[in-house]
Amino acid sequence: MATLRLGDTAPNFTAETTFGTIDFYEYLGNSWAVLFSHPADFTPVCTTELGATAKLHDEFQKRNVKVLALSVDTLEHHHQWIPDINETQNTTVNFPIIADPDRGISTLYDFIHPNASTTATVRSVLIIAPDKTIKLIITYPASTGRNFNEIIRVIDSLQLTAKYQVATPVNWSHGEDVIITPQVNDDEIPEKFPKGHKRIKSYLRTTPQPNI
């Protein structure tokens, strides 16, 4: 399969997980999704990543996001590893971990990069919208743990910009001013953005975040 790109439809699949057998689309329903791969169970960086993800459960939930992790390890290995995550990260894993020992899903989603490893998945993250389109793809090397606070930040931006004609500036975080997109004419701004705006340049106009 060709490499997935932004805007592509995320392929559906059926998988064995630590939450039982799931149909990906049915499991997501009308939720957003974070699907992320990790190189292997019983590895140090992955242990910290899955622990951090579990601790963010409430943050994902209030954003209507379901999280799923995946590696090419077996379901038995996943279940054996989870107590280590819970113990060392002082949490409880509360999301499905997908078993993909035949690498079918990993291949479907291009999670295996031969230049890094011919057998293990890299640290890829996909954010998928309720319409099943892919909105973000990030791939990290195996040696670098991900920043899941950044993933939350991107979800906030994606959900905001899906509803309003705005973009989020560099280092933006929830509650800060946003940029009015060029598609909005100046004379439309008062109606669309009644909180007011600042005109910095003709192409750079900011407004308070409209959904708070």
The whole-number average pLDDT for the span 131-157 is 95
What pLDDT does residue 143 have?
87
Tokens 């291949």 appear where? Answer: 107
Joined together, the tokens standing for residue 66 give 């379901």
Amino acid residing at 21: T
Query: Can you say whether residue 192 is alpha, beta or left, with left for phi > 0 and alpha for psi between -120 and 50 degrees?
Result: alpha
Give this prediction's pTM: 0.93
Domains and CATH numbers, the chain: 14-146 (3.40.30.10), 163-207 (3.30.1020.10)
Active-site position among 46, 67, 70, 122: 46
pLDDT tens across 71-107, in order? 999 999 999 999 999 999 999 999 999 999 999 999 9
Known catalytic residue: 46?
A: yes
What pLDDT does residue 122 have?
77
Full strand arrangement of the beta sheet holding 204-207: 166-167, 178-180, 204-207, 198-201
What pLDDT does residue 96 have?
98
Within 8 A by CB and 6+ apart from 131, the residues are none
Any idea what DSSP says for residue 72?
A: S
If you average pLDDT over every residue of the chain, what do you get? 94
Q: Report percent pLDDT > 90 for the chain.
A: 91
The SS3 assignment for 98 reads strand
Helix (H) or strand (E) holding 32: strand 32-37
